[in-house]
A and B are shown apart, each in its own frame.
Chain A
Amino acid sequence: MTDNITSTGEEEEKTIYDELHDAPPKKKLKLTWVGKLGVTVVAFWVVMALIGPYIAPFHEADIIADDSYLPAFSTDSEGTYILGTDYLERDILSRIIWGARTTIGISFVATLLAYMMGVTLGIGAAVAGGWTDMILSRANDAILSLPSIMLGLLIVVALGTSIPILILTASLIYAASVFRIARALGQDIMVIDFVEAARVRGEGLWWVISREVLPNAAMPLATDFGLRLVFVVLFISSLSFLGLGIQPPAADWGSMVRQNLSGLGYGSYASVWPALAIASFTISINLIVDDISAKSGGSLAKKMI
């Protein structure tokens, strides 16, 4: 969220193309140190999600320690528990590392699905117009007019909790906001001169969408993907926190916070670590998005606050 008044980035060399309102996006993307920090943290968690189970000291479901809520760096015959143990005498560090795969993986798949649905329907609605656009937009408004957590609760009470249902629920709810953005972008691009030129030239609809509309919508959509991923992580963690998301014994950051909450009373930090893991991931993505949209003139950020 930045604007003309506050942006203090280095002046870049201006070319004549920068004057055009539909100038091609610049290839080079310079991030400030805040953005680089965000990239580092996100990259760390992605690596953890990929190789975590191979490097974690213990298995996520192993009940190994002698006692629950052991403080950090406790040692016993099995080894050292760097972040201590949880309410079921499991190693917290291992569960956080395993949880990266569950939490980030499920959220990523759900966001990807949401994007496939939202972008297809959104660009489709923008290109088709007329009745198709009208019906899709109204249906979309109905979904958007409900608090997402309420929708989630209703679906969970109707269909129960399982990972496929969780992914579908999250992707359906967030496809609605993707639809709105993709449709708005599509409509903006469809009236730009080069698209009209392409149509006059006699290019087919598919050619126009794939060669003109999508490349021009790609950058804003990519940035928005980051934001949407944050919302999905928050949504899924909140459901898990309420005990209605990912079910035990799978380690998941949201439910880890909930399960170890009683430990706070005994001075155990068991629920603080997974909460910090969520926060570091989501804040970092937002920092990157913020940095990129500040560089692209802030117009994108304004749309999305």
Chain B
Amino acid sequence: MQRMVINRILIGIVTLFVVSILVFVGTSILPGDVAEIVLGQAATPESLAAYRAERGLDQPLYIQFISWLQGMATGDLGISKAGGATISSLIDGRLGNTMYLAAIVAVISVPLSIALGLLAAMYPGTWIDRVLTFGTLSLISVPEFFIATFMVLILAVNLHWLPAISRISPDATFLEEMRGLAMPLITLIIVVSAQMIRMTRAGILNVMNSPYIEMAILKGVPRKRIILRHAFFNAIGPIVNVVALNLAYLVSGVVVVETIFAYPGLAKLMIDGVQTRDLPLVQACAMIFCGTYVVLIILADVAAILSNPRLRNPK
């Protein structure tokens, strides 16, 4: 088992390396020279050469890649094209904001969706199950911005309960802060939970096909008890896997939600960077997002290995 886990982590590290190459090369083939973009049209050939030498842009691509990777590892993320601020100072507070949002979403949506998934699996074919499966199917087939738009329409425009844009000021009380955060939170929770409910339900019903469940049914154990005492514990592995996978999906959900609500997080920073074609900034943000995603996927796989007794104790 240890070998499998170590193997999986090693594959993850290789993936991260390949991802960093993709991110670096992908953004380096951009037509136009970074020095010219930064210094503008008024730059003299001497100042361009000086800038290139200073930033190492006259080096071959692989040397640039290695020094970029070194910078990434040591926290020196380079300098933003716009304004010349260091990228680490731009990212600093933004990353915290995004993590804060993601953490609250995880804390609320994980128990909620496991409970609802269990409920649907407990009474399959009943109206509870039908409402949940149809509702979640509809929710996973619409874009995130659809849900966000309707939340704004209902909660902000029609009911005036919540502000349509989330601003967080440092001296807001906790309640005010939650009010500001409510809209992006609700949207993300709906997006992530829909997927998790479906997968929890499927995970449990999958276990329900195994022989020992059939045995329990034949013994006359009530269905509720079978699910809670027999199926749930055997489905924990797949469910942990599902949770980690869905937290990884948060990465893409956050991009749209932060943009629509103007939430000052990392994803908003990245989209702004894409629009101004601020390469170093986009590279740094993309690396953070992709790194988080890869790490969460590895966690999901490791959880799956650890929770399966057959994989844990190979013959």
Contacts and interface: CB of A to CB of B under 8 A. Distances in A.
A147 B251 contact: yes
B293 A146 contact: yes
Contacts of B304: none
Q: Which are the 3 A-B pairs with shortest beta-carbon distances? A: A149-B252, A282-B141, A286-B141
Q: How many B residues are at the interface, by size bracket?
A: 35 or more
- Per DSSP, chain B at the interface is helix
Given A157-B279, A271-B149, A5 B208 contact: yes
Nearest to B256: A238
Contacts of B235: none
Contacts of B273: 157
A241 B274 contact: no
Given A153-B271, A272-B150, 17 more contacts: A1-B201, A3-B205, A3-B206, A142-B22, A145-B19, A147-B290, A153-B274, A156-B274, A158-B27, A234-B142, A243-B275, A257-B145, A275-B146, A282-B141, A282-B142, A285-B141, A290-B137
Given A150-B290, A155-B26, A254-B143, A145 B297 contact: yes
A6 B289 CA distance: 39
Contacts of B138: 279, 283, 286
Interface in B57-104: none
Interface in B236-250: 248-249
A267 B149 CA distance: 12
Contacts of B146: 257, 275, 278-279
Interface stretch (A54-62, A190-198, A258-266): A258-266
Given A157-B277, A264-B164, A286-B137, A305 B290 contact: no
A149 B289 CA distance: 11
B282 interface: yes
A221 interface: no
A48 to B, nearest CB: 19
A8 B133 CA distance: 15
Contacts of A290: 137
A148 interface: yes
